[in-house]
Amino acid sequence: MTTRHRWQAPPLHIHVHPRKLDGVLQVYPRAPPTPGRDVLERYAETIRAQLERGMPPNQ
């Protein structure tokens, strides 16, 4: 059990969802670009190589 000080507020987590009917709070004006298959294959090969070496990417 954690102890809170008088001045601490409990955590608050909020999600804001766009309204689909009238566009209010529209997040994306259009679909994001999708990378080509060749790019996805390169990403997959990089991830596989890192997993086989047992190291996280960029090390």
> Average pLDDT in the 34-59 region?
85
pLDDT the model gives residue 40: 93
What letter represents residue 1's amino acid?
M
The alpha-carbon radius of gyration of the chain (Å, integer) is 22
CA dist., res. 44 & res. 59, Å (int): 17
Q: What percent of the chain has pLDDT over 90?
A: 20
pLDDT one-digit tens code per residue, 8-28: 777 888 887 766 677 666 667
For residues 41 and 58, the model is more confident at: 41
DSSP 21: T
State the pTM of this model. Answer: 0.42
The sign of the CA dihedral 21, 26, 27, 29 is positive
